[in-house]
């Protein structure tokens, strides 16, 4: 699969595990991860963005 994949909540343990699995399953896809918290464990080839989904002005 090529295309775009989006993960909301990519900085937590579950979000990070989902991102890693998506990267394995779809190595050619563009993966975008959005999170309110700072990302500590970045996955190579993933675009991370900081947003606060409770504040509409940051979206």
CA distance to 18, 29, 44, per residue, from 37 (Å)? 16, 24, 18
pTM over 0.75: yes
For residue 4, the model assigns a pLDDT of 96
pLDDT of residue 32: 96
Q: List average pLDDT for each run of 10 residues in the chain, which is 59 residues long.
A: 89 92 95 90 90 81
Residue partners of 10: CB distance under 8 A and separation at least 6: 16, 18, 19, 33, 34, 35, 39, 46, 48
């Amino acid at each position: 699969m090529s295309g775009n994949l989006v993960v909301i909540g990519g900085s937590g343990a579950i979000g990070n595990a989902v991102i890693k699995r998506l990267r394995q399953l779809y190595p050619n896809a563009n993966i975008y991860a959005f999170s309110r918290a700072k990302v500590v464990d970045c996955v190579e080839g993933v675009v991370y963005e900081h947003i606060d989904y409770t504040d509409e002005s940051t979206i």
